[in-house]
Amino acid sequence: MHAKPSVRKAHAAPKLKMRKTLADAGEIARTRAEAEAAIADAQKSNERLREAIDILPQGIVFLDADGRYILCNKKYSEIYHKSADLFQPGAYLKDTLRIGVERGDYPEAEGREEEWIAERLAKLNRPGERHEQTLSDGRVILIEERKTADGGVIGLRVDITELKEREASFRLLFDSNPVPMIVCAQDDERIISVNEAALSHYGYAREDFQKLKISHIQAFEAEAPWTGEQTNEERVARTWKHIKADGSLIDVAIYSRHLIFDDKPAVLLALMDITERKRAESRLAFMAQHDGLTGLPNRILLRQKLDELLVGTRRSGEKVAVLFLDLDNFKAINDTLGHAIGDKLLKGVTKRLKSSLREEDSVARLGSDEFAVVQAGVQQPEDVAFLARRLIDAVGEPYLFDGHTIVSGASIGIAIAPGDGDDAEKLLKNADMALSRAKSEGNATFSFFESEMDARAQTRRRIEIDLRDAIENSVLQPYYQPLVDLKSGRITGFEALVRWPHPERGMIPPGEFIPVAEETGLINAVGGLMLRRACTDAARWPDDVRVAVNLSPLQFRVGNLLSVVMDALKHSGLPPKRLELEITETLLMDKSDQVLATLHALRALGVRISMDDFGTGYSSLSYLRSFPFDKIKIDQSFVRGLASNHDAQAIVRSIVSLGKGLGVTITAEGVETEAELSCLRAEGCDEGQGFLFSRARANGEITQLLLAQCEANAQAGNALVA
Ligand code: C2E
Ligand code: MG
Ligand code: MG
């Protein structure tokens, strides 16, 4: 198998001379023994050397200066197992190579055998150079040879087949990977290899690409992505801006891995183009923080920016104002001219607001027609008032859309930090409160927040909470105030007025909680409850006594009013003609078809409809024409002091004659004195209601009142004063 030891004899045996003395003989014997011992020693160390080289994982071969085998180890024989029996000491390498070539052991030699052998042998004279050799069974052997001191060669053989396979599959994975990949030298950061995907993605020609350093394709960073203190996760999570051949920038996430490439430390970079994702992300982020129609920041972003600004000004002591702006007639424009015009108006308003602001101020859209302006660097309230005026004027200028000239107005509520709040939430809330005040004072005005507004708002909140409770626990109840026929003095009916006995605050008047109920939608529950109770109570009264129930315009918005009324009638058994519903002019102001349809349907049931508080609203005669009312109630403000007020008398007179003309009953509210009563009688008013006759009373007292009426009638008097 492997080579036997090749040991040169150190000495030839000395020739015996003719004359030998004993001493000579002894000397010879000693010398011989020494020689034999030396030979044995040499053999031993030779064997040790062989044992040592046999356990090495690489193949090792020693050749003499003529290219003849001296010794090779086990691994060497295994690598070239086909020629192993040829590796005898003294055999020429060139001969074993030739035999191998003839047998086809070296596919690289095919067709150029002699040449190949010559090249192979020439390499023996270029020691230190590594080369690879492929064998017929596909194995790849790495060869490294060095000169020995005596002119021979020591050769190393490593089977690198597996390594080569791994390298090949890495190559394949690298080259055909759809993810752009780059290999950089770790030391000088030069790009040493790029795959096809990287070429097509970045657009550089291969030879140009492989001349660049990684920093050359980085738009902002000078350092290579694998350097620095970051952990691998941090690096991967980071986004890099890379420059493509055409100069465009892309966002890239980089996965890096250290490896050895061509024997040198290198870094493999996989480059994930996340430009689209980034773009989508920032689009989403923009959408989440901006209003789609106007592109303005929305409430979320405004709050965030405002809070940041406030933190900054807390130190500088500077004031910041929030101007809460609301368009005065947006709903009407939207409803009558359509949403397209409404949208154009909002965009137009946005444009004007923006152009009225300095760079350091900002504007956001908070809701349908609500905007907020943040004014920085406020020195005194006048600065804010000045801006508010300017904004109102700018928004108030007419707009021209699609041939329509549109005039809109704005009202503004103002809160100033830090006095009116030191966070965005509070400032916006207080500015909103100031806006309600501005609105109540009329259109196109502004109002500063005042702390009593806050107190008022808190009271309202308290009322809302308690009211929910009161509704749930049936605390609310109707009181009844009589309506008296002024000719006969007879009670024709009662108006049901809601009463709220509050455990702590006593009887809360409806004027305090009806508006809250309307704002919060609780009015539907209150109204439904009043209808049911009033119908049930009235069903037990005499047949010719009616009950009147007040309706809020909001009850018409829900859309189920008709069925609520029908239910109340059905459950109580009250004939519809004994139910009167009181509405106010505000209900008819928006002239909605739905409202009129509901009114007609109610009237068709046989229910009577009254116009309440006539004279306090627009008192437009067109309202009276738009619906056939059964009754008009003159507001108490015209009745007050009627006897001595000629204007009021003239008004009452004209309403009474209007009533006569239309065939409608006229009722005077708030009759408190005999003088008022006689005046009303003189003007020919049909009915009266007021403290002169009776205050509103609990249902339990109504029967008594009706009895008292009988007695009073018997005495031909009118007063039912309790
Ligand atoms: P209203 O419908 O005009 O009711 C008449 C109001 O005038 C009642 O006030 C009544 O107590 C008061 N009043 C009657 N006679 C006199 C008088 O001689 N002098 C004076 N100064 N006042 C008199 P009240 O009960 O405080 O109700 C106020 C308003 O609250 C009502 O005005 C009505 O608009 C509303 N309201 C009352 N109950 C309900 C209800 O159940 N539903 C709805 N939606 N509103 C209601
Ligand atoms: Mg009323
Ligand atoms: Mg009234």
The pLDDT assigned to 714 comes to 63
Strands of the sheet with 181-185, listed across from one edge: 191-194, 181-185, 264-273, 249-261, 240-243
Q: Kindly report, residue by residue over 396-453, the tens digit of the pLDDT.
A: 999 998 888 888 999 999 999 898 998 999 999 999 999 998 988 878 899 999 887 7
b/e burial code for range 443-478 (CB count within 10 A of at least 16 → b): ebbbbbbeeebbeeeeebeebbebbeebbeeeebbb
Q: Whose CA is nearest to atom 22 of ligand 1?
A: 670
Q: Where are the domains of the chain?
A: 1-55, 59-159, 164-279, 290-449
Listed in sequence order, the residues at least 6 apart from 471 whose beta carbon sits closer than 8 Å to its beta carbon are 522, 525, 526, 529
Are β-strands 608-614 and 579-583 bridged in parallel, bridged antiparallel, or unpaired? parallel
Whether residue 415 contacts residue 430, with contact meaning beta carbons closer than 8 Å, is answered with: yes
First to last CA, the chain: 139
Ligand 1 pocket, residues with Cβ under 6 angstroms: 481, 497-498, 509-511, 514, 527, 530, 550-552, 582, 612-613, 636, 669-672, 689-691, 696
Is the confidence at residue 710, as pLDDT, over 80?
A: no
Q: Whose CA is nearest to atom 3 of ligand 1?
A: 613
Q: Which range has the worst mean pLDDT, 129-138, 359-368, 616-625? A: 616-625
CATH number of 164-279: 3.30.450.20
Whole-number Å distance, alpha carbon 545 to ligand 2 midpoint, is: 17
Q: Kindly report, residue by residue over 505-526, the tens digit of the pLDDT.
A: 899 999 999 999 998 889 999 9
Q: Kindly report, residue by residue over 189-211, the tens digit of the pLDDT.
A: 999 999 999 999 999 999 999 99
State how far the alpha carbon of 452 is from the alpha carbons of 82, 115, 320, 433, 449, in Å. 107, 108, 21, 10, 9
Considering the segment(s) 59-159 as one domain, its CATH architecture is 2-Layer Sandwich (3.30)
Which ligand approaches the C-alpha of residue 511 most closely? 1
Whole-number Å distance, alpha carbon 588 to ligand 3 midpoint, is: 16
CA angle 224, 220, 236 (to 5 degrees): 50
Burial of 644 (C-beta count, 10 Å sphere; 0-12/13-18/19+): exposed
Of the candidates 62, 64, 63, 84, the residue with the CA atom closest to the CA atom of residue 74? 84
Please check whether the two domains, 164-279 and 290-449, share a CATH topology. no
Whole-number Å distance, alpha carbon 130 to ligand 2 midpoint, is: 111
Q: Whose CA is nearest to atom 25 of ligand 1?
A: 497
- What's the one-letter identity of residue 155? G
Q: pLDDT-derived band of residue 354, with 50, 70 and 90 as boundaries?
A: very high
Q: Whose CA is nearest to atom 42 of ligand 1?
A: 550
Of the candidates 597, 564, 565, the residue with the CA atom closest to the CA atom of residue 578? 565
Residue in the structure block whose two tokens are 């196109």: 444
Whole-number Å distance, alpha carbon 583 to ligand 3 midpoint, is: 9
DSSP annotation of 323 = E
Q: Whose CA is nearest to atom 33 of ligand 1?
A: 550
479 CA closest ligand 1 atom index:
25
Q: Whose CA is nearest to atom 30 of ligand 1?
A: 510
The structure's pTM equals: 0.51
Of the candidates 431, 112, 165, 428, the residue with the CA atom closest to the CA atom of residue 299? 428
Q: Would you list the DSSP string of 70-116?
A: EEE-HHHHHHTGGGGGG--TT-BHHHHHHHHHHHT--GGGTT-HHHH
Whether residue 256 contacts residue 230, with contact meaning beta carbons closer than 8 Å, is answered with: no
Residue in the structure block whose two tokens are 């095919």: 110
DSSP annotation of 628 = -
DSSP annotation of 154 = E
Instruction: State phi, psi for 77 to the nearest 5 degrees.
Output: -65, -35
Q: What is the mean pLDDT of the chain?
A: 89
Whole-number Å distance, alpha carbon 508 to ligand 3 midpoint, is: 18
More confident residue, 434 or 626: 434
530 CA closest ligand 1 atom index:
41
In 3-state terms, what secondary structure has residue 543? coil
Q: Strand pairing partners for 698?
A: 479
Q: pLDDT-derived band of residue 337, with 50, 70 and 90 as boundaries?
A: confident
Q: Kindly report, residue by residue over 110-141, the tens digit of the pLDDT.
A: 999 999 999 999 988 887 788 999 999 999 99
Whole-number Å distance, alpha carbon 31 to ligand 2 midpoint, is: 150
State how far the alpha carbon of 708 is from the alpha carbons of 240, 544, 702, 713, in Å. 94, 16, 10, 8
290-449: CATH topology is Alpha-Beta Plaits (3.30.70)
Of the candidates 220, 276, 219, 207, the residue with the CA atom closest to the CA atom of residue 247? 219
Is the confidence at residue 7, as pLDDT, over 70?
A: no
Distance between CA atoms of 144 and 262, rounded to whole angstroms? 17
Q: Whose CA is nearest to atom 27 of ligand 1?
A: 510
The alpha carbons of the chain give a radius of gyration, in whole angstroms, of 54
Which ligand approaches the C-alpha of residue 689 most closely? 1
DSSP annotation of 644 = G
**Residue 406 is encoded by which pair of tokens?**
């549109």
Q: Strand pairing partners for 145?
A: 155
Whether residue 495 contacts residue 480, with contact meaning beta carbons closer than 8 Å, is answered with: yes
Whole-number Å distance, alpha carbon 497 to ligand 1 midpoint, is: 6
